[in-house]
Every structure is written in C-alpha cells, then in structure tokens.
Amino acid sequence: MSPFVNSDQIRDLFSQSMSAMYRQEVPQYGTLLELVADVNRATLEQNPELRQQLQDAGELNRIDVERHGAIRLGTAEELATMRRVFRVMGMHPVGYYDLSVAGVPVHATAFRPVSDEALRINPFRVFTSLLRLELIADPALRAQAREILAQRRIFTPRALELTLQCETAGGLDARQAAEFVREATQTFRWHGEATVSHDTHRQLLAAHRLVADVVSFKGPHINHLTPRTLDIDAAQAEMPRRGVAAKDVVEGPPRRRHPILLRQTSFKALEEAIVFTGDGAAGAHTARFGEIEQRGAALTGAGRALYDRLLGQVRSMGNAGSTTDDYEARLAAVFAEFPDDLDAMHAQQLAFFRYAVQDQAAFAQAAASDADFDLAALHAQGIVEARPIIYEDFLPVSAAGIFQSNLGGSEQKSYAANAAKELFEAALQERVADEIALYAQSQQASVDALKRAYLALMR
Ligand code: OOG
Ligand code: NI
C-alpha cells in the first residue's frame, strides 16, 4: 500500500477548506449555498428521472458542492509556482483564455483534474488569470506595479516546502497532506490591509480596476467560489427573494431541454473596507462575489463554432432600451438554430458523447452473431446509448458580463486584443492541455471499452 494520500483526496480537502474560509469571509456566500441546496432539493423532488441519472453517475451526494473558484496572479513566477502547488492536488492547466478581447488585461488557464475518475471524485478547479502588465499604457505606472509585485511572497514557506517534498518523494502522507491544505489555503485569504498607498491604489484603479485588484494586495485572494445548481433559472429567481443582489441575466446559452456548455449567474461584488499604507487611510475595494453554475454537454469544434456564431448574433442585435425579458427572448429565438435533441446533436457531431451498453442481452446477441463491431449500427438500434459528456471548462469571454459586472463601475476598456498563448506558457513553464482533445479522448475511451467488451463476447 502506498504511504501517500491520493492527490484527488488532497483536492477534496482543499475545496472544503476553501469553502469554509470563504463562507466566513463573505457571509452572503453562505446564503447562496443554502439557496442552491434548496433549489437542488426541489428540482430533484420534481424530477425523479434526473435523480436516477445522477444516482447512476454517482453524483447525487455532492450535487451542490463547489465546482470552481477564481484567482488573479501578478507575475510569471507566481504562476509557475501555482502550477506546482495545484499539481500536488491533481490539478493541471487546461485551456488558454485571452481576456483582452473582453477588455480585461489578463490571460488565463483553468487548473483542473483531467481524468474521468478524478473528475468524479471531486471536479474542483481554479480559473487562474495572469495580469498582463504590458497592457498598462503608462510606463511609469507599469514599472511601479512590477516593482510592487516583485516584493510580495504569496506562498507560506511551509507550503513551498511541502510542495517540494511531494515532488521529490512522489506524494504526501496524511499528516503532511492536512498541513499542506492548511498552508495552501492561506495564499487565497483576504487581506484587509493593502500593500499600497491610497494614491497608488487610485492610479492603479484608473489603469484598470483589475490591475488594482491584483497589485494592491499581499496575495491572490479567491474572488469567488461557485456551487453547481440543477436549475439556474430557479436559483436566479430566488436570489432577490433572499436579499441577494443578482446580476440581471444568466450568462451563456439559453435554457434548453438538453443543456450545453455552461450557464452562470452571480451576486454583485461587495464593497469592502481596506486600509492603505502610508497615512493608514481607509478606503474601499470591490472584488469578491458569489457565483452559481449549471453545466451541460461539451461541444465539439463544430458545436462550439455554432455556439459562438449564435451568441455573436445575439450580441450584435444590441441591448439598447431592452429589458431582461427581451434579451432572453432574443437569445432563445437565435438559438433555435442549435438542435435541442440528443439524436440531432449526435448525428451532426455537435457534442461529445460517452457510449454505454443500453441493452446487455441485445449487445451479447449482436456479438454472438459474429457481426463486426459497428458502433453506428448498435447505436441506431438502441443497443448502445450515447450520453453527453459534461463540459468541464469555462466561457469567460462569452460570459464577459461576469468579469465586468463584478469589477464595480461600468467602465469598458479596450485593448488591441491579442492572444499570447506562448508567453503564457513560458510563464507557466508548461504547455496547457487542449480541452477539445481531452473530450475527444474521453469519447474514444468509451468506444474502445465497448469494442473490447464486444470482442470478448464474440469468442
Ligand atoms: C474569473 C472569471 C472567470 C468564470 O466562471 O467564467 C470565471 C475572474 O473574475 O477572475 O470564474
Ligand atoms: Ni467563475
């Protein structure tokens, strides 16, 4: 037996630790968790079929636990070290997100578990942005920000020691794992004391609110956590009833019979008191909020292109003088073009699927007849079923509303949008995985397993 705790278990402990800390720091987040638990309970009561599906998938016990959090880092070194720390918890960089197209001077990846099994144990992931100082126009302010960031140490010495220990020994024992989780959590806590003067904070704010959020503090405070809801429209409607200020619309695709990708909503960021350096002036900063998500099928390249085109079409219709209802009606009308029917989504290869035997007797009979393994035929006859693979990644650009609405203020900056994946990977000191390739692999693995089972039945 290995003396080491499985990295999936460490991630599970970590997500619980982050949840407890955030509930304490942002009490309204506790209200959000209760609301989501209530909505999920009601949804399951009304929908026994969904309950059965979740039970079969082994997901019923952990429905409303956190699915993700988000942080923003200041330097390449912080990002490279963060990669090592997350690796201890079985979280790897997946995907590259260029947020400059949404007027936000960062690029990002998601640290997440990648194997089907690890995702099942605990899917917790952290959307991790890196500030792009080169996008600050004023050279003096850019240099000052760089200097301030170079001084801070965002990890505790013990967290770094245990990370190294894990890398050299190949794992952590139970006591070390518990200590690692405690130490790692420290990096993400809130600091009410800024590292800059009131005046510098003002200048950073003027460059971009997000620049101030990253540069003014001792560490990358977690800026939100996000539980999973089974009915995001019900959760959205419930928020104001419980005194939670919800953003106006749910981001992402419209409500569908067969959900795709990711739908999200949030409560607006809090104004928090902070103390500046120098004269100790008191001020306020808005950064931290709570979010809810509902996940659906992962889309293929073709499916994603269709999604992007339709969303672009909705956006280009403009919002002038329109209400939330208008937006939802427009979204639904435009998305009528995206088939909401699993057979059509499958036939047009818009989504990824995991194949499983539906009718064991017929499957055995087909194999015994000595016919070659023919997935399409087995599927068409209903012997094999295709279940959508859940999307595990993010849509921060199409959901730029979340980013924007939570920075406070209504400013819209524009940057000459330019993705810089290579620079990001150089900072990370690793390549990010291609999420589409991961879904394709999961799909293929299910086909391979079916084929093996079929061949075994032939002999
Ligand atoms: C991250 C925003 C991205 C999501 O759910 O799309 C994100 C941030 O505000 O730092 O968490
Ligand atoms: Ni989020």
Residue 393 alpha carbon to ligand 1 centre in Å: 11
Query: Model-level pTM greater than 0.85?
Result: yes
pLDDT at 132: 95
Asked whether 71 and 126 are in contact (CB, 8 A), the reply is yes
- Written as six digits, the tokens of 248 are 């106006």
By alpha-carbon position, which residue is closest to atom 4 of ligand 1? 396
Residues found in the chain? 459
pLDDT at 65: 82
Q: Is the CB of 102 under 6 A from ligand 1?
A: no
- The one-digit pLDDT tens for each residue of the chain (459 residues) are 788 999 999 999 999 999 999 999 999 999 999 999 999 999 999 999 999 988 887 788 778 788 999 999 999 999 999 999 999 999 999 999 999 888 889 999 999 999 999 998 999 999 999 999 999 989 999 999 999 999 999 999 999 999 999 999 999 999 999 999 999 999 999 999 999 999 999 999 999 999 999 999 999 999 999 999 999 999 999 999 999 988 888 999 999 999 999 999 998 888 889 999 987 788 888 889 999 999 999 999 999 999 999 998 988 887 655 677 788 899 999 999 999 999 999 999 999 999 999 999 999 999 999 899 999 999 999 999 999 999 999 998 766 655 565 555 555 566 765 779 999 999 999 999 999 999 999 999 999 999 999 999 986
pLDDT at 404: 61
pLDDT at 103: 86
By alpha-carbon position, which residue is closest to atom 3 of ligand 1? 396
Burial class (CB within 10 angstroms; exposed 0-12, middle 13-18, buried 19+) of 158: middle
CA angle 426, 430, 433 (to 5 degrees): 120
Q: Is the CB of 32 under 6 A from ligand 1?
A: no
Q: Is the CB of 405 under 6 A from ligand 1?
A: no
Q: Ligand 1, residue 406: give the atom nearest the CA.
A: 9
281 three-class SS: coil
Of 130, 180, 140, give the one whose Cα is nearest residue 160. Answer: 180
How many CA atoms within 13 Å lie on the side-chain side of 292?
Answer: 33
Residue type, 116: D
Q: Is the CB of 290 under 6 A from ligand 1?
A: no
Ligand 1 pocket test, pick from 126, 127, 214, 222 with the greatest ligand atom count within 8 Å of Cβ, gives 127
Residue 97 alpha carbon to ligand 1 centre in Å: 11
- Please say whether the dihedral angle defined by the alpha carbons of residues 328, 333, 334 and 338, taken in this order, is positive or negative: positive
Residue 60 alpha carbon to ligand 1 centre in Å: 26
pLDDT at 60: 84
pLDDT at 279: 78
Residue 406 alpha carbon to ligand 1 centre in Å: 10
Q: Is the CB of 264 under 6 A from ligand 1?
A: yes
Residues 6+ apart with CB under 8 A from 351: 260, 297, 298, 299, 300, 303, 345, 388, 389
pLDDT at 419: 73
Return the biggest CA–CA distance within the chain: 85
Alpha carbons 400 and 102: distance in angstroms, whole number? 6
Alpha carbons 166 and 163: distance in angstroms, whole number? 5
Alpha carbons 288 and 247: distance in angstroms, whole number? 14
Q: Is the CB of 331 under 6 A from ligand 1?
A: no
By alpha-carbon position, which residue is closest to atom 6 of ligand 1? 396
Q: Ligand 1, residue 129: give the atom nearest the CA.
A: 10
- Please say whether the dihedral angle defined by the alpha carbons of residues 413, 418, 419 and 423, taken in this order, is positive or negative: negative
Of 93, 126, 95, 167, give the one whose Cα is nearest residue 14. Answer: 126
Tokens 């947020």 -> residue: 99
Residue 334 alpha carbon to ligand 2 centre in Å: 25
Alpha carbons 448 and 459: distance in angstroms, whole number? 17
H/E stretch holding 294 = strand 290-295
CA angle 336, 391, 8 (to 5 degrees): 165
Backbone angles phi, psi at 391, to 5 degrees: -70, 125
Instruction: Give helix 7-25 / helix 27-46 axis angle, nearest 10°.
Output: 120
The ligand placed nearest to the CA atom of residue 394 is: 1
Residues 6+ apart with CB under 8 A from 225: 18, 19, 22, 29, 66, 68, 69, 290, 291
The ligand placed nearest to the CA atom of residue 261 is: 1
- Written as six digits, the tokens of 10 are 């460490």
305 three-class SS: helix
pLDDT at 401: 59
Residue 219 alpha carbon to ligand 2 centre in Å: 19
Asked whether 383 and 362 are in contact (CB, 8 A), the reply is yes
Q: In order of start, what are the domains of the chain with their CATH numbers?
A: 7-298+392-428 (3.10.180.80), 353-388+434-459 (no CATH)
